[in-house]
Chains A and B, each alone.
Chain A
Amino acid sequence: MKFNFWYLSSLTVSIIVIVPILTVFTSFFEDTSNYFKILQQTFFHEYIFNSLTLLIGVIFFTFILGVGSAYIVSFYKFPGANFFKWGLILSFAVPPYIYAYSLFAFFENYGTAFTILKYLFGDGNYNKQIPKFDGMFGLILSISFSLYVYVYILARSSFLYQSQNLIELGKNLGFSKFKSFYSIILPAARPAIVAGLSLVAMETLAEFGAVDFFSVNTLTTGIYNSWIAFDDLAFANRISFFLLLFIFILFLTENLSRKKAKYHSELKGGFKKKEKIKLYGGKSFFAFMFCFILFSLSFLFPLSQMLYWTIKFPENLIDLQIIDLLLNTLYLVSLSSLVLIFFALISNYGNRVSNKKILNILSTLSISGYAIPGVILAIAFITFIAWFDENMIKALGFLSIKKIFIGSILGLVLVYFIRFYSLAFNGIKSGYEKMNIAVDESAYLLGYSKTKTFFNIHIPYLRNSLLFVIILVSLEIIRELPITLILRPFNFETFATTAYISASEDLLEAAAVPSLCLIIIASFFILLTSKYILRDRDE
């Protein structure tokens, strides 16, 4: 095997990604403090039970919301359909923890709902009438309204790629609309829906902010608490091991489903553009109301709640160093994007020109980081650095390297890199996949060297994909909480960490300004990417 630059770079990326996973697995067999035994007899089963309950609840809601909305906007014409097509993805700008703050604040005693009722009907004790959305149910709603977008995007794209021929086949067989949906449309979109639900499931198990806010004990909070409260890294890694087993199954499901999901979009011929059915009267009203309520609940509601508090408590706006937070966020975003793009480009180009199996395997390993929850990654990273520092660096007589990696921008960017490398890699890969390899060969035959082909042909062609990747990575980093929280340097805050810290100190009003800023910036990024996310065959 020729050991060249491409192997070296792909190998480096794979090693960086694989180290935290290996750390979790090796820690599983280490002794832990007594806390493990106590926990095993008390909370551990609760962690698993709660995680599973949460998972089932979120999957149920995201399926109904995601598939329902995707079906309506893909197959029917009704007032506002064009707006909802992209409006519905805006809820992705609201991370579950911010949704949780809004939900809690709106329905709490003397909260926003109380104020509205008082304004409308005068003084009264409305607290008893106002339902309370906290605990597990509030958590399920918060995560579902934020994450149904995954199912919506994938199901919608699958519905759009279904040819009119398929719909006509149903009619030809004499199926009713419901039977056509149930027997033809839904099974054809099943791989895409399963892929979407698997992503939702992975994100749910990885969710930290909202789970912590509602004080529901899940595996993720268990990991965080064993590290923070009991200073037991080994036990944190043990719980991580169990969580990773869950995630591994979901990761496999998602990957297999994605492969299958391609089958209806790769047909070379026979695609017939779908005619959307125009709805009238009650049906049109129902479709509009379904989308409108979903849009309002998932996006307008948290946005309004945060806006309301920002206006009601303007002193928070003044207290907060918005410019500093913005600069910190932008600094992280630009640095991480650059590193990610650089390595993802090298790796993709290496795969393309070398076309070797080993490089493909290494790439698959390198993209597995996205499945690992941020909390696990951060803690496994600390564990590894601590071990490496103790056993390798100090043993050789060098100065400690802990400070270089833990509580530093370098460490933070490195873990972001592991977590979001798959976004960058797959984003560029999908751009490359659209370019026939004969294009490269034509360039060589026209006299272009490999380097010249890369800069003169590939880069201009991939321009849009690169832009898309930068925006997507930025969006994720802006919303990211646990990694930033655990690994950030002292006094280095982002919108996400400031919102979390305020909320965890029961200063929900103070969490409003950073949350609002986060929603606005994330919405802006989503609008920039909507063109790519919602790319239609019929547009």
Chain B
Amino acid sequence: MSNNFLEIKNVSFRVGGKTKVKNVSFNIKNKGDIICLLGPSGVGKTTILRTIAGLEKIKSGSIKLKDKILSSAKNHIEPENRNISLSFQENSLFPHYTVEKNIHLGAEAKKINVKKKVSPKKIIKLLNIEKILSKYPHQISAGEAQRAALARSLVTQPDLLLLDEPLSNVDQSFKEEIQVQLKKLLNNLKITTIVVTHDSYEAFYLGSKCGVILNDQLKQYDDPYNVYHFPNSIEVVNFLNRGILIPAKVTGENSLENEDLGTIKGNFIKHYPKGSAVKLLLQPEDLEHDDKSNLKLEVVDRKFRGTNFIYTLKTATNHLIPVLVHSHHIHQHQVDEKFGIKRPIHIDHIVCF
């Protein structure tokens, strides 16, 4: 007997006879934990949710919830008997019922005394759907439909809540607010949740753990901080689009040397023997701007990101390096101008491959 709330062991997730994600294992340790699965479109994130919900069967491995086998090669508990709720990305509201009836049907179906923990009213208010309660699904926007479906899932208070891109159709202005409220509510209700998203910031905010699915595999399953700062493979680096990989040579316990940038110091997260040729992950926030520095690189592009600029600098060996600068910085550099990099370069966590 394991102590995990949800345990997925060696499962290959399939849909329509085709394997989407191979040999996946991960756990959710405690009731009420929120985890996020991150990956590009079409990689199989939704298939994972559908399989956990019981809408797809598995041929190997096992899925256990509270130590009870839900799916294995031999067993398959039907979706209606799992007490798992899945909020679909597309509109899944019952088209012939109003939004209000849709929400209440959830509670009625499972005969839940919803007053015990949280009232539907509170959920409706939180998701800001009071005004659309009397409307039919075809009369509301995609974002509103998504929130209504989310409300329907939440009122059932399932053992496990699965959210498939829950906020993909929600306006950006409203998204951050709803993320905060959603996280608070899920924590209050102690509803164990798996969120699938392609938005890394959403995943890092909502999840206590984060899984990255790439090329048919769960590449990394770790704390959001670790996924962000210590990606375990080049694929994860590329997917998160966090920086570039430049060639370097390990020169000591805490240092390495790059042809263009010179000596770089910091803490290696993995040991490499002195003299090893490695690829160093250089992220935008790793380098600092300094006009007085004698290390100057040419600006080839500048992107305004609201709170900051991302400069793209070209090195002598034609590598393009991203550098982040706060946008209140008064020295704005134009394309073709020279941009100074502070030396000596120090990076807190040195990630190499």
Contacts and interface: CB of A to CB of B under 8 A. Distances in A.
Interface of A: 434-436, 438-439, 441-449, 457, 460-461
A457 B94 contact: yes
A125 B78 CA distance: 84
A269 B21 CA distance: 32
A439 B106 CA distance: 12
B212 to A, nearest CB: 26
Given A439-B94, A442-B88, A447-B109, 13 more contacts: A436-B92, A441-B79, A441-B88, A441-B92, A442-B93, A442-B94, A443-B109, A444-B78, A445-B80, A446-B85, A446-B105, A446-B109, A447-B110
Contact of B55 (A434, A439, A441, A457): A441
B351 interface: no
B94 A445 contact: no
B10 to A, nearest CB: 25
Contacts of B95: 434-435, 439, 461
Contact of A444 (B55, B94, B106, B110): B55
Nearest to B92: A438
Contact of B94 (A434, A447, A461): A461
Contacts of B96: 460-461
B83 to A, nearest CB: 8
Contacts of A441: 50, 53, 55, 79, 86, 88, 92
A347 to B, nearest CB: 22
A442 B81 CA distance: 13
B149 interface: yes
A438 B80 contact: no
A462 to B, nearest CB: 9
Contacts of A460: 96
Contacts of A443: 94, 109
A446 B111 CA distance: 10
Given A444-B78, A445-B53, A445-B86, A438 B91 contact: yes
Contacts, number: 65
A435 B90 CA distance: 12
B62 interface: no
A265 to B, nearest CB: 16
Given A441-B79, A460-B96, A446 B90 contact: no
B156 interface: yes
Contacts of A457: 94
B84 interface: yes
A445 B84 contact: yes
A446 B110 contact: yes
Contacts of B149: 442
B145 to A, nearest CB: 11
Contacts of A461: 94-96
A442 B150 CA distance: 11
A444 B82 CA distance: 10
Which 7 A/B pairs are nearest by Cβ-Cβ distance? Answer: A438-B92, A444-B79, A446-B109, A442-B92, A447-B109, A438-B88, A461-B96
Contacts of B156: 446-447
19 contacts: A434-B95, A436-B91, A436-B92, A441-B53, A442-B88, A442-B92, A442-B149, A443-B109, A444-B55, A444-B78, A444-B79, A445-B55, A445-B82, A445-B85, A446-B80, A446-B106, A449-B78, A457-B94, A461-B95
Interface in B59-118: 78-86, 88, 90-96, 105-106, 109-110
A436 B96 CA distance: 12
A444 B91 contact: no
A461 B93 CA distance: 12
Contacts of B79: 441, 444-445
Most buried by B among A434, A439, A449, A460: A439
B256 to A, nearest CB: 51
Contacts of A439: 92-95
Contacts of A436: 90-92
Contacts of B78: 444, 449
A431 to B, nearest CB: 11
Contacts of B91: 436, 438
Contact of B80 (A434, A435, A449): A449
Nearest to B108: A446
A89 to B, nearest CB: 26
Contacts of B92: 436, 438-439, 441-442
Nearest to B89: A438
A424 B156 CA distance: 37
Given A435-B95, A460-B96, A461-B95, A444 B90 contact: no
A453 to B, nearest CB: 9
B315 to A, nearest CB: 44
A438 B94 CA distance: 9
Contacts of A435: 95
Contacts of A438: 88, 90-92
Contacts of A442: 86, 88, 92-94, 149, 152
Nearest to B90: A438
A448 B109 CA distance: 7
A442 B96 CA distance: 14
A461 B102 CA distance: 13
A358 to B, nearest CB: 15
B77 to A, nearest CB: 11
A172 B298 CA distance: 47
B98 to A, nearest CB: 13
A435 B92 CA distance: 9
A461 B50 CA distance: 24
A435 B83 CA distance: 24
A446 B54 CA distance: 12
A447 B109 CA distance: 6
Most buried by A among B96, B110, B149: B96
Interface string B135-172: 00000000000000100100010000000000000000
Nearest to A434: B95
A38 B40 CA distance: 74
B51 to A, nearest CB: 12
A468 to B, nearest CB: 15
A106 B122 CA distance: 73
B50 to A, nearest CB: 8
A441 B94 CA distance: 11
A474 B23 CA distance: 56
B114 to A, nearest CB: 13
B12 to A, nearest CB: 21
Contacts of A449: 78, 80
Contacts of A444: 54-55, 78-80
A436 B92 CA distance: 7
A360 to B, nearest CB: 15
Contacts of B94: 439, 442-443, 457, 461
